[in-house]
Amino acid sequence: MGNPHPQKPNGNGAVEQYDAIVIGAGVSGLYQLYKLREMGLSVRAFEDAGGVGGTWYWNRYPGCRFDSESETYGYSWSKELLQEWDWKEHFSGQPENERYLNYVADKFDLRRDIQLNSRVSSAVYDEDAHQWEVQIEGGQRARAQFLVGAVGILSAKYTPPFEGIDSFEGLSFHTSNWPKEKVDFSGKRVGCIGTGATAVQLIPIVAEEAGHLTVFQRTPNYCAPCRNSEVSPETQATWKASYDEIHKRCRETSVAFRHEFDPRSALEVSEEERLELYEKLWMQPGFTKWLGNFHDIMTNREANETFAEFVRNKIRERVHDPEVAELLVPKDHPFGAKRIPLETHYYEAYNRDNVKLVDVHKAPIDRITPKGVKTQDAEYELDAIIYATGFDVVTGPLTQIDIRGEGGQSFKDKWANGPRTHLGIQTAGFPNFFIAANSAFCNYTVCAEMIAEWIADCIGHLREKKLSSIAPTQQAEDAWVEHSNELASHTLLGDTDSWFMGANIPGKARALLLYANRAPEYRKKCQEAAASGYKDFVLQ
């Protein structure tokens, strides 16, 4: 797939001038480009990849798909698009998602303002001119009053720095940089390092194809059945007739899905009633088991434990070998404190003769050798290694770019101890720099659209009032960070090491990277900030 009209960076030394520059052409970047262009701005989107789609361009590994319901993940902002596009599966797969975003790029003629194969290496604020100057790898430079970082939150891949990693003589893959061509694992001895949401999607498929699959697991997860299925023509028609209600519902629920938490406590009902709800939720598709559960499973350890034990027993029922089953059962963290992977035949993969689960918590990976993986107690010879080892989440995609704000201050230094923003969108000392990535705890597209619209409105306000720049006050930013941490302290998210807490990367500061408020509250705070005339911001 990819762009049929790829544009090459010019690199001829001239500095191009735009009203706005958008970094990234994924879900957020495409919409941000559309919104700003609609307002009459000249916009350039620079995209590192060879095609549009962001996450759905890079993550081509077998089994990659939405964990959100397709009808809630697609954009809501074009009624025409909603009527034209048919989702094939309830939890759509990567190839279709990439096709969808390419379809959007074509339909809205976005490609003419997108420059592919263009990685932004630096962005420097010129205080006198109120302009950002970005540099693309290869030397091209461009300037604009407004800079929007639409780089996603799960886009900076993480590979553990295993000793000997380059010495491996077989094939190596990271799930988020997967080749476009189909990888043939048939007859091969494959190793998969990691058992997060990505690996859980990939393992059952690779297990079927590979000669042998060794899974290196450090921490088991509470995986819940996805229960994906094809979308029938009747369902498609129902969605198309009711998108307004679907999107209204998503704007009202806590996490911007169609699901909503049960207002009762898990502890106020009888055990029989509790189990009845758990069984019912279990049979439903998607995140219902998490986001349709008793409200206090995310806040009360005792309530959480009732569901955690229910899930553990579900795992035990599905894995034939009791020793393997126990290894797959999480006991060290509450349900939902780590991202819940949705699975299809994941646990059954471990019932296959050609799949072996290795506990690298007990005996960690020592090094990668030319022949395979060496743990502290054994060596595994492999033909291919899959690193399903995740991302430097939220901060990584931005701190990889050398961003310099007022006084030449470094964005990377500013965020060294975790994200520092007001509303997740702007950061003090970096005027006219907007972060168009959904780092709230909610359905990605739903909140990402709201953020892109907020940014567009804010830029519209500046242009209307003939203002040069906007950045939050330091006090507003400090208050937002404190408020975010306060919200996090009422959840169980801090009870374990996870990417939510930045704890998946050795040495990364521990801080909740997602904003843990209810989505409608978040929306309200963003709306209030704008309605107040941006009173918590410095406008020049």
Binding site for ligand NA7 (CB under 6 A): 154, 160, 193-199, 216, 218-219, 339, 360, 365, 388-391, 499, 504
Handedness of CA 229, 235, 240, 242 (dihedral sign): negative
Nearest approach, Cβ of residue 271 and ligand NA7 (Å): 31
Nearer to ligand NA7, 18 or 61 (CB): 61
Q: Phi/psi zone of residue 407: left (φ > 0), alpha (ψ -120 to 50 degrees), beta?
A: left
* Angle (CA) 149 151 154, round 5°: 145
Q: How far is CA 88 from CA 91, 93, 242, in A?
A: 9, 9, 17
Nearer to ligand NA7, 216 or 411 (CB): 216
Nearer to ligand NA7, 347 or 411 (CB): 347
Nearest approach, Cβ of residue 199 and ligand NA7 (Å): 6
Classify each residue of 379-396 as buried b or exposed e, where b means 16 or more C-beta atoms within 10 Å of its C-beta: ebebbbbbbbbbbbbbbb
* Angle (CA) 409 413 418, round 5°: 130
Residue 364 and residue 337 in contact, taking contact as beta carbons nearer than 8 Å: no
- Give the Cα separation of 420 and 523 in Å (integer): 19
Nearest approach, Cβ of residue 488 and ligand NA7 (Å): 17
Residue showing the smallest CB distance to ligand NA7 in the complex: 196
Nearest approach, Cβ of residue 338 and ligand NA7 (Å): 7
Nearest approach, Cβ of residue 388 and ligand NA7 (Å): 5
Nearest approach, Cβ of residue 423 and ligand NA7 (Å): 22
Nearest approach, Cβ of residue 460 and ligand NA7 (Å): 32
Q: For residue 95, how many C-alpha atoms fall within 13 Å in the half-sphere facing its CB? A: 9
Nearer to ligand NA7, 46 or 56 (CB): 56
DSSP state of 59: -
Nearer to ligand NA7, 142 or 388 (CB): 388
Tokens 């003589």, residue?
169
Residue 436 and residue 452 in contact, taking contact as beta carbons nearer than 8 Å: yes
Nearer to ligand NA7, 389 or 421 (CB): 389
Nearer to ligand NA7, 218 or 295 (CB): 218
